[in-house]
Amino acid sequence: MLKINDLHVNYGGISAVKGISIQVPEKSIVTLIGANGAGKSTTLRTIMNLVKPSQGEIIFQGENIVGKDTIDIVARGITLVPEGRRVFANLTVLENLKIGAYLQKNGIEEQILEVYDLFPRLKERSWQMAGTLSGGEQQMLAVGRALMARPKLIMMDEPSLGLAPLIVNGIFDIIKEINKLGTTILLIEQNANKALKVADYGYVLETGNITMEGKGRELMQNEKIKEAYLGTSKK
């Protein structure tokens, strides 16, 4: 569904992404893991044309989308759940969801009900101001808002960041459920253990380069991965 070829991204004189190539098959969960500053968020922002690449291709369903407007990219079926959730604090839960459907001409009420089925808590709080929600509830809202555009591919940037362990488990259950319903997922996560458990395939990004890749479960067994990202090793 998504194929990135030799992607380079520069910030001023700094090379943030150095020629990476990744593939995201349809209906799969693919994860990018790596430390802060590795280039993970930059990759997602470049896919959405929030950052301009200096070189490379981003092929979505057979067409190069480099240079396309962000609105056009959303209309084609890609949405982003940003790091830090970025909900509209002074709007209600329902208003936030409706903003996510700004390109939809019909079926909005039906889509809201589908989001409420996934997140019953949001239905309970539909008239509550988003800024008064807990961190976990705001993350549910950020995911729900992205789903309102009926994406074929949803990209999530650090969905577990700052959340209590119990809430994190719930978020990953939702990620699996969204995928089971047919949506392809590209996931960025510092919680490598959780990410690799749900991912069909994973890439390790270090200082703008992909240093390792493989099936999620296989990467979990790799000693280098265990030591650097999982906090465990046989040594």
Give the pLDDT confidence of 70-114 residue by residue, as tens digits. 999 999 999 999 887 789 899 999 999 999 887 777 788 989 999
Cα gap 233→225, rounded to integer Å: 9
Find the mean pLDDT for residues 32-51.
92
**187-198 per-position pLDDT tens digit:** 998 888 899 999
**169-188 per-position pLDDT tens digit:** 888 999 999 999 999 999 99
Output the pLDDT for position 155. Answer: 96
Cα gap 44→24, rounded to integer Å: 13
Dihedral class, residue 127 (left if φ above 0, else alpha if ψ from -120 to 50, else beta): alpha
**Which amino acid would we find at residue 148?**
M
Q: What is the overall mean pLDDT for the chain?
A: 91
For the record, the structure tokens of 95 come out as 């208003």
Find the mean pLDDT for residues 140-155.
94
